[in-house]
């Protein structure tokens, strides 16, 4: 006994399950079992039941598509799809053979093409709640509908249908889906590319680039050549030289005085500048340490330094004219200061990693003079006088801005 599509449609429509594929599929299989004298679905071998479910699932999806196109009105649906409904619903050979064997024990006559399947009533018409658009569904509803698709379709079939469905709407997505289905190993490769973090080149800050120039002794021309070569390899990691020059200017303290035979900066200005630069460079660490302290509007930090002087002779002499006529650039007498640590109470905010390195020496006074006992004593008294006059520096600590008051 062949089953027409019309008969199966009436079975589903009378039960009101057109919009719910899962319930409609269950209703259809139960009706077919009764129609072919199978009894119930438990009498159908599992392999055949799976094949039967897939065939019915495909049919029900076509029914729902046509049903929605007709505005879910039975009159228009029956009239517009009359030829399609009058066609026989075909199953694969194994299912057809099984159903024929079950019918061989039936002595009744075949059902007319327009009759209903057993256990259904064509008189009841339950349209149900109008179906919502996919975009308006909740995540739970989307998962439920997707689960029904997975029960009745193979993943490869769904992927191919998706690539065809987005052809007109999103050509880029179609290309991605097509690329993913080229070979069985392609999805694993795509997943690996997505999961692995691509190591992008890190760009030098202006301070880091300045440090690179100082450490390597690189000239301006050499730096610009290196920067352009790196940009040509799509590695724009070096800042423009103008930014380096600005960073270099920030390294200079205020109130520097220069004459023909000497250069000097007040110790107060040098210490203020040194402390502020340390705070700016270590602001994350300082902020973390301060948060662990008791809440106070103000707290006192202490910058520990060491200072000293030394002279050297035997330098190259240049024929530089001097207004005084007594310039001797063969000898240099240098007074410097080295910051050791910045601390608040018992917590160290910053520690000099190489306190004996000349890299951390900050010049206080440079003189083209030969080292003598009188010069050393004079310089010592001068520095001690400045130390006695030192004043605390007030700094406003703000997460977004660090500025000296």
pLDDT for 176-192, tens place per residue?
Answer: 777 777 777 777 887 77
Q: What is the mean pLDDT of residues 322-341?
A: 86
* Whether pTM exceeds 0.85: no
How sure is the predictor about 308, in pLDDT bands with cuts at 50, 70 and 90? very high
Determine the pLDDT at residue 375: 93
| pLDDT tops 70 at residue 353 | yes
Q: What is the mean pLDDT of residues 229-234?
A: 92
Domain ranges of the chain: 1-121, 154-199, 206-249, 257-313+327-404
Look-up of token digits 């130390």:
387
Among 39, 6, 9, 11, CA closest to 27: 11
How sure is the predictor about 303, in pLDDT bands with cuts at 50, 70 and 90? very high
Determine the pLDDT at residue 206: 93
- Residue 93 or residue 262, greater confidence: 262
Q: What gap in Å lies between CA 239 and CA 237, rounded to an integer? A: 7
pLDDT tens figures, 261-297:
899 999 999 999 999 998 888 877 777 777 766 655 5
How sure is the predictor about 52, in pLDDT bands with cuts at 50, 70 and 90? confident
Q: What gap in Å lies between CA 276 and CA 2, rounded to an integer? A: 92
| pLDDT tops 80 at residue 92 | no
| pLDDT tops 70 at residue 36 | no
Chain-wide mean pLDDT for the chain? 79
Q: Sign of the CA dihedral 104, 108, 112, 118?
A: negative
How sure is the predictor about 119, in pLDDT bands with cuts at 50, 70 and 90? very low
Highest-scoring range by mean pLDDT, 37-41, 46-50, 99-103: 46-50
| pLDDT tops 70 at residue 330 | yes
Q: What is the mean pLDDT of residues 351-374?
A: 91
pLDDT tens figures, 7-17:
877 777 776 65
Determine the pLDDT at residue 127: 43
| pLDDT tops 50 at residue 379 | yes
Determine the pLDDT at residue 191: 79
pLDDT tens figures, 193-214:
777 777 788 899 999 999 999 9
């Amino acid at each position: 006994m062949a089953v027409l599509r019309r008969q199966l449609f009436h079975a589903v429509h009378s039960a009101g399950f057109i919009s719910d594929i899962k319930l409609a599929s269950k209703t259809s299989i139960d009706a077919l079992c009764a129609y072919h004298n199978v009894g119930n679905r438990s009498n159908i071998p599992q392999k055949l039941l799976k094949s039967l479910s897939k065939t019915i699932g495909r049919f029900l999806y076509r029914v729902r598509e046509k049903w929605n196109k007709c505005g879910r009105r039975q009159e228009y649906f029956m009239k517009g799809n009359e030829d399609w409904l009058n066609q026989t619903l075909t199953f694969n050979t194994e299912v057809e053979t099984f159903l024929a064997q079950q019918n061989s024990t039936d002595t009744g006559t075949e059902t007319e093409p327009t009759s209903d399947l057993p256990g259904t009533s064509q008189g009841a018409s339950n349209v149900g709640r109008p179906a919502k658009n996919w975009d308006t569904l909740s995540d739970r509803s989307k998962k439920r509908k997707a689960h029904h698709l997975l029960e009745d379709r193979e993943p490869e079939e769904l992927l191919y249908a998706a690539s065809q469905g987005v052809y007109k709407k999103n050509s880029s997505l179609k290309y991605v889906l097509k690329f993913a289905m080229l070979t069985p190993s392609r999805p694993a490769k795509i997943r690996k590319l997505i999961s692995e973090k691509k190591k992008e080149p890190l760009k030098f800050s202006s301070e880091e680039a300045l440090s690179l120039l100082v450490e390597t002794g690189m000239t301006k021309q050499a730096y610009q050549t290196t920067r352009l070569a790196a940009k040509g390899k799509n590695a724009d990691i070096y800042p423009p030289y103008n930014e380096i020059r600005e960073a270099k200017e920030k390294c200079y303290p205020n109130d520097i005085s220069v004459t023909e035979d000497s250069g000097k900066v007040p110790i107060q200005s040098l210490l203020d500048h040194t402390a502020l630069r340390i705070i700016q460079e270590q602001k994350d660490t300082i902020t973390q340490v301060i948060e662990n302290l008791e809440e106070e509007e103000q707290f006192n930090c202490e910058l520990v330094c060491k200072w000293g002087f030394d002279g050297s002779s035997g330098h190259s002499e240049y024929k530089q004219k001097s207004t005084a006529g007594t310039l001797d650039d063969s000898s240099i007498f240098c007074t410097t200061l080295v910051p050791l640590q910045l601390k608040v109470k018992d917590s160290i905010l910053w520690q000099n990693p190489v306190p004996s390195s000349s890299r951390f020496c900050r010049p206080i006074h440079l003189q083209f003079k030969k080292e003598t006992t009188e010069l050393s004593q004079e310089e010592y008294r001068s520095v001690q006088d400045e130390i006695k006059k030192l004043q605390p520096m007030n700094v406003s600590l703000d997460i977004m801005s660090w500025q000296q008051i």
